[in-house]
Amino acid sequence: MASLFGGGASSSSSNALNQERLDMALTEMDTVTDLFNRMVSSCQSKCIARYAEAELSKGESVCIDRCVAKYHAVYAAVGEKLKIRGEGQQQR
C-alpha cells in the first residue's frame, strides 16, 4: 500500500507520513459517506411522502434539489469554519 502513495523502499519517516495520509483519507471518506447517508435519509423523509410512482413528481424533484443544495451549503460553511479554527490553533 505504501507504493500507492509515492514509494516502495523509503525511510520510516516517509512511511509514517504515508500512513498519516492514508488515515486522513480514510477519515475523510468516512465523513463524506456519513454526510451522504444523512442527506439521503433526511431529504427522502422530507420530500417523498409515499412511493406511488416509479418517477419523482415535479414537486418531489424540486424539494430534493433544494434539500441537497442546503446540505452542501451547510457542509461547506462548517468546513470553512473548522478550517479557520484549525489555522488559528496552528498559529498558537
pTM of the predicted model, to two decimals? 0.66
Domains of the chain, start order: 8-91 (1.10.287.810)
**Structure letter (DSSP) for residue 56:** P
pLDDT, tens digit, for every residue of 19-69? 888 999 999 999 899 999 999 999 999 999 888 889 999 999 999 999 999
**Contact in structure between 2 and 10 (CB atoms under 8 Å):** yes
Residues 6 or more apart in contact with residue 15 via CB below 8 angstroms: 2
Q: Residue for cell digits 441537497?
A: 68
Bin 10: left if φ > 0, else alpha if -120 < ψ < 50, else beta: beta
**Contact in structure between 45 and 52 (CB atoms under 8 Å):** no
